[in-house]
Structures are given as C-alpha cells and as structure tokens.
Amino acid sequence: MDMRPELTETTSLVAVNGDALKVMGKAIFKIQLGNLALQRELIVAGIEDECLLGLDILQDCQFGPAVIDLNESRILMNGFEIQCSKSESEDLYLQSTHKEWKNNSRDDH
C-alpha cells in the first residue's frame, strides 16, 4: 500500500541561477526533523538536496520564529534544538535533540 499523498498542481519554481525547476506538485506531508514532527504543505521538485526548509516553515513556530544559530551550528524551533553538522561529503545534515527551549526574546503583549 502506497502511503504517499497525491500531488496536486502548483506554481513553477525558479533556481537561483534563473533556470526553471522541474516541479512534480504539492501535497500535505508529515515531516520529521529528529524528534520534531510537523505537518505542512510541501512542494516536490527535482533538486539535488533532500529537503529545503523555507521561511514559511521557519517563521511559523509555536514559540515564535526559529532561531538559526550559526555559531553553535543549530536551529532552535518549537522547543527543539536541531543540531546541524557537515558530513565528509560536505553535505549539511540535521540531528534533533529535544530540549526545553523557549524563545524568551518574544513579547506576548
């Protein structure tokens, strides 16, 4: 039984160099970043990377926008610390560890 969601049409995408990307469609997917589970509408396209996190995902967090901490090679998102590391092939990969992290810089007034 195929558990993949059915793709629907979406707008075209353009690479940084201006070339059109091959877009297969969009659908609601369950994604897992370590211990962090999300359900979002994603676009499936022919790119070299396994996944790209867009601003729509990084800004739509329970405790305010995600914090990208390049000094510590981590992303803080929805109470999770997602560790970023480079493999020997120089590809970036993410590893999530749950920490009770909250963005204290956000005002709830």
Q: Across-strand partners of 77?
A: 80
Q: What is the DSSP string of the chain?
A: ---PPPPB-----B-TTSPBP-EEEEEEEEEEETTEEEEEEEEEE--SSS----HHHHH--TTSS-EEETTTTEEEETTEEEEEEE-TT--EEEEEEE-----TT----
Average pLDDT over residues 91-102: 49
Distances, alpha carbon 10 to alpha carbons 31, 95, 104, in Å: 19, 30, 37
pLDDT at 26: 95
Can you give the pLDDT at residue 96? 47
Sequence ranges of the domains in the chain: 1-46, 54-104
Report the share of the chain in percent with pLDDT over 90: 26
Q: Report the pLDDT averaged over residues 41-57.
A: 86
Q: The pTM is what?
A: 0.66
Is the pLDDT score of 6 beyond 80?
yes
Q: How many CB atoms lie within 10 A of CB 20?
A: 9
């005002």: which residue's tokens?
107
Give tens-digit pLDDT for 54-96.
888 889 887 789 999 989 988 998 888 888 876 555 555 555 4
- Give CA–CA dist 69/6, Å, rounded: 35
Rounded to a whole number of angstroms, the CA Rg of the chain reads: 16
Question: Does the structure show a pLDDT above 80 at 13?
Answer: yes
